[in-house]
Amino acid sequence: MRVGIIAPNYYAEETGNAVTVRRIERQMRLLGCEVMVFPVDRLAGETLQGAVKEFAPQILHAFHAYQGGRMAHALSEVLGLPYLVTFTGTDIYKAFCDRRNLDLHGALRGASRLVAFHGCIKRRLAEHMPMLEERTAVIPQGVELPAEYGQLPAQGGQEHFTFLLPAGLRPVKNVLFPLEPLAALHELYPQVRLLLAGPVLDADYAAQVMDALERYPFARYLGVVGHESMGELYRRVDVVLNSSLSEGGMANTVLEAMAYARPLLVADIEGNRSIVKEHVTGLLYRDAEDLRAKGEQLLTDPHLREKLGRQGRALVRDNYPPEREAKAYLGLYQEILQTTPSPSGC
């Protein structure tokens, strides 16, 4: 089977979309599919159409309903190819409510199937377009389980307690929010540190972040950390944060932190609640004071940190293997092609 993947941000390898696409691309090849990724941030218009036509896929798989889905919709109309769309986050939370709404509706109505990472995203879609609920499947994200995990010894004998916030610098990731509550914690516990890691995805917001960091010397921006280096970074820190305003069901960084047995302190939002259970696989905070208090709880209770990390790793090991994710997508591809065969005759 030949599968054409329509992907945004594919070459910004540290973004959640790129991590998801590269994992599925790799797993689908292991299942025997021919796969080609068409990055919509590098290809557009006739160039994109020509590249897809030359590859002659039997099906298109778009990631991000607006950025990928509308491209797949346009290609489908010209080339007669069936396509499915996977929601990845802001496409379900924001694009329905702004000027992108009409384009988004067209892309979703034209898709043979839609995929959400969790039932909460499927329900949110149903609020906007109830006629699409039956066409929407739930396929949880997978995560590759590292053989080596757990915390590494402190470097250079430094006894810091480090929070890590892995996120692209853009407003929806809300990376400014933890600075004030963690600064209050730092006053009580001078060993507290905060590391930010991720690409600049919004220049204006990134400038605000850099200005804020000047006022909080306990916090440091690491810049872009390659995905192949993130494993060691997870293992060097004590707690992993997620401060997003919204997530598309489950963040890759949350799943990866669990895979490395790191305790989580995350915003109490729909997407995080889909995988983080309070005092079982992590802690959820509702406001700044809650973040400070639960940060202190994690700092002072090593047994809690160990329990959350161990149970988080067990959860992703048992429930989120990437092989299961890929087989579910393959099943959808086959189902779509049985009802709408590709005009390429392949």
- pLDDT tens across 51-65, in order? 999 999 999 999 998
What are the strands, taking DSSP E only, across 109-258?
A: 113-116, 136-138, 161-166, 192-197, 219-221, 239-242
Fold matches, 2-142+321-339 and 155-318: yes
Residues 263-304 have pLDDT tens digits of 999 999 988 998 999 999 999 999 999 999 999 999 999 999
Dihedrals φ, ψ of 241, to 5°?
A: -105, 155
Check whether 95 has a pLDDT greater than 80.
no
Check whether 187 has a pLDDT greater than 80.
yes
Residues 109-168 have pLDDT tens digits of 999 999 999 888 888 888 888 899 999 999 999 999 999 988 887 765 568 999 999 999
Other Cβ atoms less than 10 A from the Cβ of 20: the count is 22
In this prediction, residue 123 carries a pLDDT of 87
For the record, the structure tokens of 296 come out as 């202190």
In this prediction, residue 346 carries a pLDDT of 37
pLDDT class of 344 with cuts at 50, 70, 90: very low
Mean pLDDT within 20-49: 91
In this prediction, residue 100 carries a pLDDT of 56
Residues 156-167 have pLDDT tens digits of 556 899 999 999
Mean pLDDT within 64-85: 93
CA distances (Å), 267 to each of 99, 287, 299, in order?
28, 8, 18
In this prediction, residue 240 carries a pLDDT of 98
Residues 315-329 have pLDDT tens digits of 999 999 999 999 999
> For the structural domain made of 155-318, what CATH number should be given?
3.40.50.2000
In this prediction, residue 105 carries a pLDDT of 84
All structural domains of the chain with their residue ranges: 2-142+321-339, 155-318
In this prediction, residue 262 carries a pLDDT of 97
Other Cβ atoms less than 10 A from the Cβ of 273: the count is 17
- Report the alpha-carbon distance of residue 198 to residue 244 in Å, rounded: 13
Residues 1-28 have pLDDT tens digits of 999 999 987 776 567 788 899 999 999 9
Q: Do the Cβ atoms of 290 and 233 come closer than 8 Å?
A: no
Write down the CATH superfamily of domain 2-142+321-339: Glycogen Phosphorylase B; (3.40.50.2000)
- Report the alpha-carbon distance of residue 121 to residue 43 in Å, rounded: 29
pLDDT above 70 coverage of the chain, percent: 92
For the record, the structure tokens of 312 come out as 């988080």
Check whether 175 has a pLDDT greater than 90.
yes
In this prediction, residue 13 carries a pLDDT of 59
